[in-house]
Amino acid sequence: MADEGDILTDLNSQGAPNGADNQPVAGVISQYIKDMSVENPHAPDSYQWTDKPQVDLQFNIGANQVNDEIHEVELKINVNAKAEQGSIYLIELSYCGLVGMRNLPEDQAHAFLYAEAPRLLFPFARRVIADATRDAGYQPLVLDPIDFNGLYVQRLQAQQAQAAAQGAPAGDA
C-alpha cells in the first residue's frame, strides 16, 4: 500500500504516460477580497426606522488574464438597501479568484471563466455580504443562490440572436 507521499509524488510527476499530461484541467487556485466598501450613512437613526428596506442588488462578472494559464475572475456585487427616510446601507464588494486552466478549448475556457468559476466563488462572496450586513448592525443579508450556468447560456443565446438580427438582410421578417 502506498503512503501519502507516494501518491503526491505520482500526481506531481513530470510526463504522464499515454499523453495524459495533455488532459484538460481547470480549478480555483486562490480567492480573496480585492475591494470592499460598507457604508452605514444614517446610523444610528436608521436602526429606528420601521419601513421594510428595498434592496437593490447589482451583479457583474469579469475576467482578466494574468498569464497563459491563470486568469483572475471577479464577482462585483453592489447592494443598496433603502427606506423611505433614506439609504440604510450600501455594500460594494469585488470578490476575486485566481483560476488555472490548461489544455481547455476556447469555448470551454470561456464557459469556465464566466459560469463555473463564479459558481465556485459565489458561496464565499455571499458569506462576506452576510457578515458585512450583520457587522453593520442589521440582519444578515443572505443572497439567494444564482444559476450561473443558466445565466451564461441565456447570455450566449442573446448574443447569438443579436448577431443574427444584425446580420439579417434588410426587409427580412
Angle between helices 117-135 and 148-167 (to 10 degrees): 120
The model's pLDDT over 109-158, given as tens digits with 9 standing for 90+, comes to 999 999 999 999 999 999 999 999 999 999 999 999 999 999 999 988 98
Q: Enter the pTM of the model.
A: 0.79
Answer whether the bond into residue 44 is a cis peptide, omega within 30°.
yes
Domain 24-157 has CATH 3.40.50.1100: no
2-49 confidence digits (pLDDT tens): 444 443 334 344 445 444 568 899 999 999 999 999 999 999 999 999
